[in-house]
Amino acid sequence: MENVTIKQKKVPSLLDALIPLGVLVTLLSTSVYLFSDNSSFGPNQIALLFSMGVAAVIGLKNGYSWAEIEKGIVKGISLSLGAILILLAVGALIGSWMLSGTVPTLIFYGLELLNPSFFYAATCLICAIVAMSIGSSWTTAATVGVALMGVASGMGMSDAITAGAVISGAYFGDKISPLSETTNLAPAVAGTELFEHIRYMLWTTVPSFVIALILFTIIGFSGDAQETSSNIAEMQTLLAQEFNISWIMLAPLVVLLTLAIRKMPAFPAVAIGALLGAVWAVLFQPDVIQNMVDEEQQGALGVTAVVWTSLFDGVAFSTADENLNSLLSRGGMSSMLNTIWLIICAMSFGAVLESTGLLKAIVALFLRGAHSAGSMISRTILTCIGTNIITADQYISIVMPGRMYKEEYAKRGLHQLNLSRSLEDGGTITSPLIPWNTCGAYMQGVLLVHPFDYFIYTFFNLINPVLAIIYAYLGVKILRIPIPEVVVEVGDEKVVIESPQAKLK
């Protein structure tokens, strides 16, 4: 019989876990310093892959085989495939909706209805209502968010502040919607009921959103409304000259929102919206298409080529106004390829950390010294934020800390609702603030504003985790449960330590 040697795996030390993190932070900082806003277009990907290599070497040193590490990478990337398909569909949707006049019509009427003084607050509120209705921050940003970015351009408003308002509203609505994936995922991981989870979240979510609306209102009133009036009229005139503007152009948006409300999965819903936009372009924007038809491809073939191109490579307008060209020339699946590249690299790095046990060692560090409800909840939120940074995916930032902390909450007499709320306060909310996170990369790809530029204006996303930690330390709305009875043997006798009664502070 042959002797089979099984290599013993070593438990990674804290130093093992911190080395790849230190390398990543150093490389990402250098990337931003050298390449500024262009850091997400290649430099960050190299930083993530190099850091992944460092983590893999540490895993090999601790007894993991390359086959095991590679299997973890493949599994990690597979978790992002759903998001990648949605990204491709969103790219096609933006391209066809630009060509069909759907987005230009939204911009036109938005310029007519929105007052510059209330624009940022209204943007936040509109995105919140749409996201709450459909349960998707991504779809909201790619549809209404894109249109509102166009409205901001027409009014001469700040792109960064508008992006912050779009993201604040979209994530508030997504967080409290029972249709949202993350809102269903958090209670499933923690072991709580969906609507109890939503009701419990309102204590931190609603005050944070109200504060955000107040801040956006203050910023809006501090702007110069008179300067924007001429910009609005000029942009509306240009849009009306270039496109057939009518309420019927909004039909693709209505169909997409209806499909989302009826709980159709995001990928087919967005794909249908993109195809409907292509049909609308042929029916209602023949002049726009004709201006783009190549001289060598006239007739039906030329029209087909333009519409087809809008789906995979977006649209490029060549009007007399360069600002309008810059605003509307975008979209296509190809516009999302860099974002997909970033997501694959980020997921690979996170997968190596998880599969080699390095991430677990980092989380164990956070649990040290956590005795009170405040310290436990604050550590959970910080762990979710850290996981968002390290693994670059909001789903992992919910699932992993949820699994690791679930038993600890029960041992310390904290109801699992505290855990499910903390997973959302720290995981869901902070994901779009990180450039290499799937959500941050997506928002940059759709809104065309770098996360470092809109970061300071995502008031809701910044306030919510801070408020949740303050609640925890003050004991506000902290739900407690009986601590499991502990039997201790004292000599020949067994002593049962009683558990406290559940109470809501």
Alpha carbon distance 470, 200 (integer Å): 16
Supply the pTM of this predicted model: 0.72
Q: How confident is the model at residue 106 (pLDDT cuts 50, 70, 90)?
A: confident
Torsion of CA 236, 241, 242, 244, to 10 degrees: 90
What pLDDT score does 457 carry? Answer: 96
What pLDDT score does 6 carry? Answer: 52
What pLDDT score does 1 carry? Answer: 45
The residues, ordered by sequence, that sit 6+ positions from 480 with a Cβ below 8 Å of its Cβ are 373, 413, 414, 415, 500, 502, 503, 504, 505
Q: Which residue has the tokens 């940059």?
A: 444
**DSSP labels, 367-409:** HTT--SHHHHHHHHHHHHHHHHHHH--HHHHHHHHHHHHHHHH
Q: Is the pLDDT of residue 485 over 60?
A: no
Helix (H) or strand (E) holding 471: helix 459-474
Alpha carbon distance 156, 231 (integer Å): 7
CA nearest neighbour of 239 among 333, 171, 367, 151: 151
Q: How confident is the model at residue 58 (pLDDT cuts 50, 70, 90)?
A: very high
Q: Is the pLDDT of residue 468 over 50?
A: yes
pLDDT in tens, 156-198: 889 999 999 999 999 999 898 876 778 877 887 788 887 888 8
Q: Which of 154-158, 245-249, 389-393 is predicted most confidently?
A: 245-249
Sign for the pseudo-dihedral over CA of 156, 161, 84, 349: positive
Q: What is the DSSP letter of 414?
A: B
Q: Is the pLDDT of residue 322 over 80?
A: no
The tokens for 427 are 């995981």
Q: How confident is the model at residue 285 (pLDDT cuts 50, 70, 90)?
A: very high
Q: In residues, how long is the chain?
A: 505
Q: How confident is the model at residue 499 (pLDDT cuts 50, 70, 90)?
A: very low
Q: Is the pLDDT of residue 4 over 50?
A: no
Q: Is the pLDDT of residue 398 over 50?
A: yes
Q: How confident is the model at residue 116 (pLDDT cuts 50, 70, 90)?
A: confident
What pLDDT score does 503 carry? Answer: 39
Q: How confident is the model at residue 280 (pLDDT cuts 50, 70, 90)?
A: very high
pLDDT in tens, 18-29: 899 889 888 878
Residue type for position 405: Y
pLDDT in tens, 371-387: 678 888 988 998 899 88
pLDDT over 90, % of the chain: 31
What pLDDT score does 370 carry? Answer: 66
Average pLDDT for 264-290 = 90
Higher pLDDT, 478 or 226: 478
pLDDT over 70, % of the chain: 90
CA nearest neighbour of 439 among 83, 162, 182: 83
Q: Is the pLDDT of residue 207 over 70?
A: yes
How far, rounded to the nearest angstrom, does the alpha carbon of residue 123 sit from its chain's CA centroid? 18
Sign for the pseudo-dihedral over CA of 176, 180, 184, 187: negative
Average pLDDT for 230-255 = 85
Q: Which of 176-190, 234-248, 267-281 is predicted most confidently?
A: 267-281
Alpha carbon distance 138, 470 (integer Å): 29
Q: Is the pLDDT of residue 504 over 50?
A: no
- Spell out the long-range contacts of 257-263 with Cβ–Cβ below 8 A and sequence spacing 24 or more: 257/130, 257/133, 257/134, 257/143, 260/133, 260/134, 260/135, 260/136, 260/139, 260/179, 261/133, 261/134, 261/179, 263/179
Q: How confident is the model at residue 37 (pLDDT cuts 50, 70, 90)?
A: low
**DSSP labels, 241-269:** HHS---GGGGHHHHHHHHHHHTT--HHHH
What pLDDT score does 501 carry? Answer: 39
Q: Is the pLDDT of residue 493 over 70?
A: no
pLDDT in tens, 450-462: 999 999 999 999 9
Alpha carbon distance 375, 195 (integer Å): 26
Higher pLDDT, 248 or 264: 248
Residue type for position 57: V
What pLDDT score does 231 carry? Answer: 65
Alpha carbon distance 66, 47 (integer Å): 21
Average pLDDT, the chain: 83
Alpha carbon distance 408, 350 (integer Å): 24
The tokens for 154 are 């027409």
